[in-house]
Structures are given as C-alpha cells and as structure tokens.
Homo-oligomer: A and B are copies of this chain.
C-alpha cells in the first residue's frame, strides 16, 4: 500500500491481491489518513487498488486467531469507517475491482464512488455467509444506500455492477474501459480539493452523527 501526492490530490493505492483489513493494512491505512489529515490546504484523497479486488473486507484468517480480541479488531475496523466520515478532506473511492462485505462498507465510507462499467461489484454477502451486520455497519449502510439498493444489496445480498450501482444510487459515476476509473476519480478529486475545510467534518456530522457515534461506540 502506497500513499503518493500529485498536486493537491493524495492517491492511496491499496495494492494488488486479496486486500483485507489485516493488522498491517490497518496500521498503514491509519498512518495514511494521518498524513492526509495533517497536511494543509486544498486537498482530496483517492483510494484505489490494482488488481481484480478493490477491497475484500475483514481478514477472516487473522480474526480466527484472535479469541477475545475479536471485538477489539472489529472496533478498529469500525473506527476506520468513522475516521473517513470525520476526515476534513473529501474522499473518492476509485473502485476498479470488487468491493466485498467490509470492503463495500469502506467504499460507502468515502464521499464519492467511481466504478467500471464492465467489471467490479459492490457486494454485501452477509446473508449468504449466515451472518448479520453489527449495529455500526448496519447504520453506515442504511445511511448511504437509498432504497431499493439497501434491500437488494444488504438484505438479499445482490452483487451490483457499475451501471446498476449508478442507477440505484450506490455509485456516483461509472466509466468504461480498463484504465478509466482512476483518471475519472482523480478528476473528481481535483474538483473537490477546495472542500477540504474543518466544516466538512461538521457537515458530515450534521447528516451522519448517529452513524459515526454507533461506529465509534
């Protein structure tokens, strides 16, 4: 995972492969958000990855080793979502591949989602895994997904590709072609850099206070 800066836009590349909320991922992501938050002036953050996966969610192998620390780990993931909702910097998810489960929630925690027309899904497969959502996750998902996307995606576990995600209000833009997502996301981010102000966090709190409080509790 690598954070680079081009002008006012920070680019966080999550890398390639089975990207999950591993302890290393969380350490690096939190440090990247620190860097972005503590920078000055106009700026925006784009989060992307390089392979078939944008983000695959919880690190189930790691979780299996945790025993009682399981809740602590989950809390840390929740606080990462909340951190994005309270960051005084606009964020754009350049979803070049699949965003599954916690990975889809990470995408929903960004201000803007750009997807591909031909590949990549948002998917909340909890129904098929025999799971339910934590209060924090349910609160985040319900706040960001309008009906009927909420019911189709979160209750029925439907995988939603780019064009459907745009039509259903789960994504903000869809672009065609192999390498078009990142440039489109960078354009969006450049148009948003002037929104990096202290009141951005306040305005998100105006609309997502319950989500943030539930995620942080």
Kindly state the separation between the CA atoms of A33 and B155 in the bound complex, as whole angstroms: 20
Structural contact, A207 and B157, CB atoms closer than 8 A: no
Number of chain A residues close to chain B: CB under 8 A:
43
Q: Given A111-B156, A144-B147, A132 and B172 touching (CB < 8 A)?
A: no
- A215 within 8 Å of B (CB atoms): no
Copies of this protein in the assembly total 3
Structural contact, B195 and A132, CB atoms closer than 8 A: no
- A102 within 8 Å of B (CB atoms): no
CB under 8 Å from chain B, chain A span 90-141? 90, 111-112, 126-128, 130-133, 135, 138, 141
Structural contact, A155 and B204, CB atoms closer than 8 A: yes
Q: Report B-chain residues with C-beta under 8 Å of the C-beta of A195.
A: 127-128, 156-157
Chain B nearest CB, measured from A202 CB (Å):
4
- A183 within 8 Å of B (CB atoms): no
Q: Is chain A's binding surface mostly helix, strand, loop or mixed?
A: helix
Q: Report B-chain residues with C-beta under 8 Å of the C-beta of A168.
A: 169
- A26 within 8 Å of B (CB atoms): no
Structural contact, A150 and B111, CB atoms closer than 8 A: no
Kindly state the separation between the CA atoms of A41 and B189 in the bound complex, as whole angstroms: 48
Structural contact, B156 and A207, CB atoms closer than 8 A: no
Structural contact, A111 and B199, CB atoms closer than 8 A: no
Structural contact, A147 and B146, CB atoms closer than 8 A: yes
Kindly state the separation between the CA atoms of A200 and B195 in the bound complex, as whole angstroms: 40
Structural contact, B206 and A111, CB atoms closer than 8 A: no
- A89 within 8 Å of B (CB atoms): no
Structural contact, B131 and A199, CB atoms closer than 8 A: yes
Q: Report B-chain residues with C-beta under 8 Å of the C-beta of A206.
A: 132-133, 135, 138, 154
User: Lowest 7 CB-CB distances: which A-B pairs, in order?
Assistant: A132-B202, A138-B206, A146-B147, A133-B206, A146-B146, A148-B169, A130-B199
Would you give 25 A-B contacts (Cβ < 8 Å), ordered by A? A111-B156, A126-B203, A127-B195, A127-B199, A127-B200, A127-B203, A128-B195, A130-B197, A131-B199, A132-B199, A135-B206, A138-B207, A141-B207, A142-B207, A143-B147, A144-B151, A146-B147, A146-B148, A146-B169, A147-B169, A148-B169, A148-B172, A155-B204, A155-B207, A168-B169
